Structure 1
Amino acid sequence: MTIDPVPTGPIETEPRGFVPAPEQHRLLLEALADAGVELGDYDHRIIDWLTTSPGYEWSTIATIASWVKRAATDNA
């Protein structure tokens, strides 16, 4: 199965594929860092909750990361 990257525009269909929890965690942190979001302890707890097994599916994490990236681009 092909893994869709983090979308850079509006999402019309569910992002496909399987991305392991550690990679989901990295990609979400990367999107937030690239957007200049400063994270506190509770922020990190929520990121862990979202991306730690059983965690959420790739489609959910990809969508959240996409929102962050698009919001940062729109506000740049």
Structure 2
Amino acid sequence: MTATESGIPTGPIDREPLDYPAPGGYPDGSRKAEILRDAFAQAGIELGAYDERIAAWLAQTADWSTFAVITSWVQRAAQAGKETDR
């Protein structure tokens, strides 16, 4: 499975994404929040206050596999939109 530097899968996911590129375990909630904010920014998604609240909740509560899949959807949907615009 190919992934970004942050460990987010870049294509369809056929198995639980347990790999994270940094040694010593998975990122904490604040690092996951950074990864998610970056994914939204790269996708050109503007967030409202409630969006921000739910994104923070997701980053704090989701296990790595769930978080990686959801963030991958954001990235892949943005990429698909860019490819369609060509």
TM-score if structure 2 supplies the norm length?
0.77
Larger relative contact order (Cα-Cα within 8 Å, sequence gap ≥ 6)? 1
Counterpart Cα distance in 2 of 1:13 and 1:24: 20
Aligned partner of 1:61: which letter? F
Written as runs of structure 1 = structure 2, the 5 A alignment for 1:11-22 is: 11-16=13-18, 17=20, 18-22=26-30
**Aligned residues, how many?**
71
1:7-26 deviation per Cα after TM superposition (whole angstroms, max 9, x unaligned): 00000111115221111111
Runs of 4+ in 1 over 6 A off after TM superposition: none
**Paired residue for 1:58?**
64
Output the aligned Cα RMSD.
Answer: 1.3
Query: CA shift at 1:74, angstroms?
Result: 0.5
Identity %: 45
Structure 1 residue matching 2:71: 3-state secondary structure:
helix
1:29-74 deviation per Cα after TM superposition (whole angstroms, max 9, x unaligned): 110110000000000000111112xx11011111111001100110
Aligned partner of 1:62: which letter? A
Segments of 5+ residues of structure 2 without an aligned counterpart are: 1-5, 21-25
Segments of 5+ residues of structure 1 without an aligned counterpart are: none
Check if 1:45 corresponds to 2:47.
no
